[in-house]
Structures are given as structure tokens and as C-alpha cells.
């Protein structure tokens, strides 16, 4: 007989109502792509969805903002603690394991509630020279992916279908192709145009001169990518229906 944990279900439901975050491993790097939540234009600074954890690790978050802030901060502390203790960058999966274990602890004890956050964690491990992509959920599970999405259930389904098609038969994409695939997902999940640069976030991780380098795109740089892929956002010409006289 299976026992349902209502608080975990509620935490997962919070994630299922969040806006999309997409992660993708490419032949020359990895990327995170996020749709921003609709927020008041009176805010001086919009809530971010993509964060740099260390020079070789970044994360995209969906769910309760205050919970995600706590988990991002703890992840950064863990990464810097490992660097100080061992004089080497933390391995991506080791950090993911820590985050997942920490989230799982909050499902086990009375007086605590689970963290209502799912995370996509992208990293580069120098020992294996490989880019990695992991997903963690509010229950503390984690798994490795070539590409995946988190957020609203219907958006995740559309995003994964497009990614499956793009990566069919073992195909790989470079970062430019990966960004195009992410923008294609955006064009399918909502009515967007090339003027939506302020509503999305984009970050890439690649090796430059032997060092892992994270680039978080500015709004003008995102706008440039949208212009390069403007054909994805073209709508069919509206047909004019005329009443027969």
C-alpha cells in the first residue's frame, strides 16, 4: 500500500504552475533557457530564474521564489566550501547530490515543509571533460539528462517533444542550434514575437581557452538571437474573410 505525502505533492504542484526552464547539452557546451514569470513593471529588478553557482556550474529554477533563493545560496556556499577545503572545483554530480539530499531531508520531519522548487543544474567536469545536465525535484530525486524541461506540465510536454525531434537518432546540436531549438519551444508554448527579449533568460556554458566559462546573455544579446531566428516567430498572413454579397 503506497502512502501519499500531501506536502510533497503540494510542492510539486507549485513547480507545475511555474514558467518553463529548458536545459540542453550540446556538442560544444550546454545551455539554460527560461521564460520569465509575468511580474509588475514597477519592480526595479525582475526575479531571476538562471543563476551562476560557480565558474563551471549554473542552475535554472522553477517554483517558490523564496525557496529557490535559499537553495541557490546553499549551493554557492557548498561549492565555495569544497574549493576552500580541497583546492579544486566541486564535481557537478557531487553538488547535485548535496542539493537533492538537502531537499529530501525536508520531506522527512514534522515541522518542516518540502522545498517547492525543481532545479536544472548544468556543469562541466574537468576530470572527464564532459558537460552534464541534472534535474532535481521537490522530493529530493535527481537524474541526468541530455535535454529536458521543467515548469507547467503542458509546456514541458511541448518542449520535450521538440527536443526529442531535434535529438532524434542520436543527433547532437551545437550551441547555436541549441539556442534555436529553445526559441522554437518558446514560439510553440505561447504567442511570442522578436520583441520578447525582456521576457526570457538565456545562459551558456562552454570551454574558452581551457577554462569553463558561463555567459548570461543581456537583453540586447537575446534580442540579437531572436532576430537571427525570426523565421520561427513568423505567423501566417491573416486571411481576410469577405462576406458573400
Long-range contacts of 160-168 (CB under 8 A, 24+ apart): 162/188, 163/22, 163/24
Tell whether the model's pLDDT for residue 241 goes beyond 80: no
The reported pLDDT for the residue numbered 118 is 97
- Smallest CA-to-CA distance from 31 within 97, 137, 124 is with 124
Tell whether the model's pLDDT for residue 40 goes beyond 90: no
Percent of the chain clearing pLDDT 90 (strictly above): 76
Tell whether the model's pLDDT for residue 87 goes beyond 50: yes
Mean pLDDT of the chain: 90
- Smallest CA-to-CA distance from 51 within 205, 222, 211 is with 205
Cβ(194)–Cβ(226) below 8 Å:
yes
Tell whether the model's pLDDT for residue 4 goes beyond 80: no
pTM: 0.91
- Least confident residue range of 146-150, 162-166, 188-192: 188-192
> Which three three-digit cell numbers place residue 102?
538537502
The reported pLDDT for the residue numbered 243 is 44
Q: Residues 180-218: pLDDT tens digits?
A: 999 999 999 877 677 888 889 999 999 999 999 999 999
How many whole angstroms separate alpha carbon 91 and alpha carbon 128?
Answer: 10
- Delineate the domains of the chain, giving CATH numbers in brackets: 6-230 (3.60.20.10)
Pairing of strands 130-136, 117-125: antiparallel
Backbone angles phi, psi at 208, to 5 degrees: -125, 120
Higher pLDDT, 78 or 37: 78
Amino acid at each position: 500500500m503506497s502512502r501519499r505525502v500531501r506536502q510533497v505533492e503540494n510542492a510539486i504542484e507549485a513547480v507545475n504552475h511555474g514558467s518553463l526552464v529548458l536545459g540542453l547539452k550540446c556538442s560544444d557546451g550546454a545551455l539554460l533557457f527560461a521564460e520569465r514569470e509575468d511580474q509588475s513593471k514597477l519592480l526595479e529588478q525582475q526575479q531571476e530564474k538562471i543563476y551562476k553557482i560557480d565558474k563551471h556550474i549554473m542552475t535554472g529554477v522553477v517554483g517558490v521564489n523564496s525557496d529557490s533563493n535559499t537553495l541557490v545560496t546553499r549551493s554557492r556556499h557548498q561549492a565555495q566550501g569544497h574549493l576552500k577545503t580541497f583546492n579544486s572545483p566541486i564535481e557537478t554530480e557531487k553538488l547535485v547530490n548535496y542539493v537533492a539530499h538537502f531537499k529530501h531531508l525536508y520531506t522527512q520531519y514534522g515541522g518542516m515543509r518540502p522545498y517547492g522548487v525543481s532545479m536544472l543544474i548544468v556543469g562541466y567536469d574537468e576530470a572527464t571533460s564532459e558537460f552534464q545536465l541534472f534535474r532535481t525535484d521537490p522530493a529530493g530525486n535527481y537524474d541526468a539528462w541530455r535535454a529536458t524541461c521543467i515548469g507547467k506540465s503542458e509546456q514541458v510536454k511541448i518542449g520535450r517533444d521538440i527536443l526529442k525531434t531535434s535529438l532524434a537518432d542520436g543527433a547532437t546540436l551545437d550551441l547555436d542550434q541549441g539556442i534555436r531549438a529553445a526559441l522554437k519551444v518558446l514560439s510553440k508554448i505561447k504567442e511570442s514575437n522578436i520583441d520578447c527579449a525582456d521576457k526570457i533568460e538565456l545562459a551558456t556554458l562552454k570551454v574558452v581557452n581551457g577554462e569553463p566559462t558561463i555567459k548570461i546573455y543581456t537583453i540586447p544579446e537575446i534580442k540579437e538571437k531572436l532576430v537571427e531566428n525570426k523565421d520561427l516567430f513568423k505567423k501566417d498572413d491573416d486571411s481576410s474573410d469577405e462576406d458573400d454579397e
